[in-house]
A and B are shown apart, each in its own frame.
Chain A
Amino acid sequence: MKRKLILISFTVILLGLFVGASTFAYFTDSAHGNTKNFQAGTIDIDSYRDGFDTIPGPMFYTTAEEGATPTDPSYPGLKPTGQWAPGDTHIRSLVVYNKGSLDAILSKVKAEVISDPENLASKLNVAIYNIVPENLPNGTPFSPIPGDDTLDQELLNYTSNLINPFIMTAHYFGTDELTQKFIESRINVRGQLLWSGKMSDLTSEYKKLNKGLSLKSNKAPQFRQRGCLLAFVVQLDKAADNNYQGAEAKFGFTLLAEQKK
């Protein structure tokens, strides 16, 4: 009985405390530090075939229809290679640029086989150059990159006329010959060899470029700082025998960029 009384008393006191607690109001406050948001930057690389052809589309195609833009309306390609004979060399160029917010380094290249039933890749020699524009004879900076706001249309047309015959008619392979052609065409540029080998090497895995190319972020004021002009020189090897007559292959070229810092 005594134990029961003690238990009841304890319960009453406890209830009293709860009821009492609700009657105590007190002021509160808190201080919060400034919010700091974090956002990762981006590496966002894009490319298009050189500005003296219709855009977009593949660099290499045998007929104007094959090189037509995948747009509506479609525009035919301006630089078909025609069908290749052993020893034929063709050069096409690709503008690669950075749309992301981080500076990038263009570091690797590979080729994807879309179709190659006769293993033509083993008979295609490939060299990739970085085309470094210098100055035109009148001292104006040469840049075949459309969108470069340092050039007006008249000057672009002028450079276009210079480079087109060079690209269309040149049959050569190798650094020395390339340099010679630049000189003959009176185009004051330098070509840096980034990679050379067989197409079949490129299709096996990413290949490191001899020199990483800096592609500034989208904050860079001039396009030429964000982009580069690459020349793809492809030759059907003279050793390609009759087994390769009529052989047809399709590839994609992929450039990989990594963050610079």
Chain B
Amino acid sequence: MKKRIAVGLATVGLISTLIGGATFSIFTDSATNSGNTFKAGKIDINSQVAQEWTVGCDNMAPGDVKVEKLTVSNDGTLELRYDVSADIQGALFGGANPTQVKFLKDGEEFTPGDNNFVLAPGESDEITVEVTMPKDAGNEYQEATGSIDINFAAEQTANN
């Protein structure tokens, strides 16, 4: 009797295994679309001096006008917009008759700040910086010094 039960249980186990195994077989197939390429673009802004300051920046006299031209280029692969910022420091640019700084693009004056100048990939702008020491700057400006630090900050225009 005990032997019969054992044989019965073994048979049930075997059948269960067979049934269980069978349920895991189904026909399948798959299709692949391969080689999909995603490439993020680049924002790459550069500036170069197109025309160095006219001589004598280190020995300015009242009435002098000094000019520098900068080329700003988009060397990346995405369209960008950029702002110009200028950090102007020193006694030469302060006091009652400070030396004046003008920024021009395409012949038009602009104030550094929220400029949003747009450049397509491969394009460039010419930025002119004009520094004028006023004629009425008095002796208090003798040997006065100053510096101008110009920066260009760019961001993508797409979705922005």
**Chain A contacts to B: CB under 8 angstroms:** 40-49, 57-62, 66, 81-88, 94, 96, 100, 102, 104, 112, 114, 120, 124, 171, 234, 236, 238, 240, 244-259
Contacts and interface: CB of A to CB of B under 8 A. Distances in A.
Given A60-B38, A240-B40, A247-B39, A112 B26 contact: no
A259 B25 CA distance: 10
A253 to B, nearest CB: 5
Contact of A259 (B26, B33, B36): B26
Interface string B1-45: 000000000000000000000000011111111111111111100
Contacts of A252: 32-36
Contact of A249 (B30, B38, B76, B78): B38
B24 to A, nearest CB: 12
Contacts of A254: 30-33
Contact of B158 (A45, A87, A100, A250): A87
Contacts of B41: 82-85, 245-246
B80 to A, nearest CB: 10
A59 B40 contact: no
Contacts of A258: 26-28
Interface in B78-105: 78
B105 to A, nearest CB: 24
Given A120-B40, A246-B42, A256 B160 contact: no
B interface secondary structure, majority: strand
Contact of B37 (A61, A171, A253, A255): A61
Nearest to A60: B36
A47 B34 CA distance: 11
A181 to B, nearest CB: 16
B38 A248 contact: yes
B131 to A, nearest CB: 33
Given A240-B40, A245-B41, A250 B78 contact: no
Most interface-central of B30, B31, B36 (chain A CB within 10 A): B36
A236 B40 contact: yes
Contacts of B78: 83, 85
Contacts of B51: none
Contact of B40 (A84, A251, A259): A84
B119 to A, nearest CB: 14
B139 interface: no
Contacts of B39: 62, 83-84, 246-249
A85 B30 contact: no
Q: Tell me which of B35, B40, B76, B159 has the highest count of chain A C-beta atoms within 10 A of its own C-beta.
A: B40
B37 A249 contact: yes
